[in-house]
Amino acid sequence: MDITGTTALVTGANRGIGLQYVNELLARGVAKVYATARRPDLIDTSDRRVTPLHLDLLDEKSIAEAAAVATDVTLIVNNAGITTGADLVTGDLDKIRLDMETHFFGTLRVIRAFAPVLAAHGGGAIINVMSVLSWFANEGTGSYSAAKAAEWNMTNGVRAELAGQGTLVQGVHLGAADTDIMAGRDVPKIDPAKVARASLDGLRAGSVEVLVDEPSRIVKAMLSAPLGAPPTASDARAVR
C-alpha cells in the first residue's frame, strides 16, 4: 500500500507508539491523519494535516461517532492499549476484563465500525499493534498476555473475513519500546519510532505481519518448539 496522499486514523495518538505513527505518517506524506485519543485536547495540531478526534476504546458511542466523521479513511492503526498488570489466578477480575475489553473488544469495535468505510474506498488497510506477549506469558503478564493473544487471533480472523473486500490486515509485534507503559521496567527498550517505521515499511511491501525486534523474531520462531523447551542462553537474554 502506498500511503502518500491517503487519510489515516490512529488510536492512542497522544503519546507513545501512537504519536510516532502520526509523526511517521506525516513524514511519509499522508494527506490527513485523524489523531484519536481519549483526550483529543492533548493532540499536537501544529501540522494542519492532523485532525484530533475523540475515541475511547471502552466507549462504543465514541467509536461510532468517530466512524461517522472519518468517512474518508483508508488506513486504521489500532495502537491504543494498557496493561493492568493483573495476575490471572489471584488478580482482580475487573482488571482482567479491562485488559480484554481494551485490547480485544475495543480493537474489534474499531474494526467493525470502520470496515464499511474501508470497503467504500477499495479496501485499504488495518494495522493492529500487538506484542511478543501475544505468544507467551510470564508471572506478572498473565492478563495482558491473554488479551494480546486474543487480539492476535482476532487479527487473523479479521484478515480472513476482510480479504474479500481487499483490506490488508497487518499484525505488528514487539518486545519492549521506550514508552510510558514500560516506565520503571529495567529491560532493553527500542525507540518507539522504530515500531512505526517498521510497520509502515511493511505496509508498503504488503506484509501482513511485522516482527519489529529481536525478541519478537525469536519468540515467533520458537513457537514450533515443544512447549517448555528451554531457550538457548542468547534467546533468553534477548527476550528478557
Ligand X SMILES: NC(=O)c1ccc[n+]([C@@H]2O[C@H](COP(=O)([O-])OP(=O)(O)OC[C@H]3O[C@@H](n4cnc5c(N)ncnc54)[C@H](OP(=O)(O)O)[C@@H]3O)[C@@H](O)[C@H]2O)c1
CA atoms within 13 A on the CB side of 176: 14
Q: Which is nearer to ligand X, 27 or 187 (CB)?
A: 187
Residue 177 binding ligand X, by CB under 6 A: yes
Burial of 208 (0-12, 13-18, 19+ CB in 10 A): middle
Q: State how far Cα 209 lies from the chain centre.
A: 12
Residue 49 binding ligand X, by CB under 6 A: no
Q: How far is the CB of 227 from ligand X (least distance, A)?
A: 22
Is 194 assigned a catalytic role?
A: no
Asked whether 238 and 221 are in contact (CB, 8 A), the reply is: no
| Interface stretch with ligand X, choices 26-34, 119-127, 179-187, 230-238 (CB under 6 A) | 179-187
Rounded CA separation 76/4 (Å): 15
| Interface stretch with ligand X, choices 13-21, 45-53, 158-166, 218-226 (CB under 6 A) | 13-21
Exactly one of 118, 174, 198, 218 binds ligand X (CB under 6 A); that residue is 174
Exactly one of 3, 6, 10, 14 binds ligand X (CB under 6 A); that residue is 14
Rounded CA separation 200/65 (Å): 27
Interacting residues with ligand X between 71 and 90 (CB under 6 A): 79-82
Residue 142 binding ligand X, by CB under 6 A: no
Rounded CA separation 100/80 (Å): 13
Residue 137 binding ligand X, by CB under 6 A: no
Residue 69 binding ligand X, by CB under 6 A: no
CA dist list (Å): 210 to 46, 123, 129, 194, 195 = 30, 20, 10, 12, 9
Size of the residue set binding ligand X (CB under 6 A): 29
Q: Which is nearer to ligand X, 54 or 121 (CB)?
A: 54
Is 21 assigned a catalytic role?
A: no
C-alpha cell at 235: 534467546
Residue 194 binding ligand X, by CB under 6 A: no
Rounded CA separation 237/240 (Å): 5
For ligand X, the binding residues (CB under 6 A) are: 11-12, 14-18, 37-39, 55-58, 79-82, 102, 106, 129, 131, 174, 176-177, 179-182
